[in-house]
Structure 1
Amino acid sequence: MPLTLMDVGVETTVKTIRGKDQTRKFLQNLGFVEGAKVTVVSSLAGNVIVNVKDARVAISEQMASRIMV
């Protein structure tokens, strides 16, 4: 399921990233790689704040919907 459907505070693992090569590369550079542990910190106003690799990253819901967990 996409990252946007995850509950706040639940840790999960990235299974795959969908989208064009450029989009996948951008998300991989932020730390969203297969097997990475991620936790949704908050989701509001069309943005999702995620803990990934000991860092907090804010991404749009559109980008978050491409991350499958």
Structure 2
Amino acid sequence: MENIMFSKISEFLTGGEKAVETSRNTVINLAEAETNTEYVIKEIKTDDEELKKFLFTLGCYEGETVTLISILAENYVINVKDSRYSIDKNLAEAIII
């Protein structure tokens, strides 16, 4: 019930645009996400500073929205800030939503 109410309030505040916020107890990464669904990035989870910097240059950072467009042979097509990128599974697994 709490998640439904949060979703409705979030939808109202954003003017109908709906970004999925995963449950606080559930940690999933972008590799486990559903296609054509907008998510909010909660963190970039990796010890590789170069990987973090690369994702930051794409616009992937905490609080930003990301949409998984499609998955093609372990390549993940994502939409961030009105731009599309193809990232591999390792990068998708580092993006916690």
TM band (smaller chain): over 0.9
Alignment gaps of 5+ in structure 2: 1-27
The one of 29, 32, 39 equivalent to 1:5 is 32
C-alpha separation between the residues in 2 aligned to 1:48 and 1:61?
A: 7
The one of 16, 39, 60 equivalent to 1:32 is 60
Q: Going by fraction, where is helix more abundant, 1 or 2? A: 2
Which structure: larger Rg?
2
**Larger RCO (alpha carbons 8 Å, 6+ apart):** 1
**Please, what TM-score do these two structures have when normalized by structure 2?**
0.69
**Please, what TM-score do these two structures have when normalized by structure 1?**
0.95
Alignment RMSD (CA, Å) = 0.6
Alignment gaps of 5+ in structure 1: none
Of all paired residues, the percent bearing the same amino acid is 36
Which one-letter code corresponds to 2:89 in the other structure?
E
Task: Write out the 4+ residue segments of structure 1 that deviate beyond 2 Å after TM superposition.
Answer: none
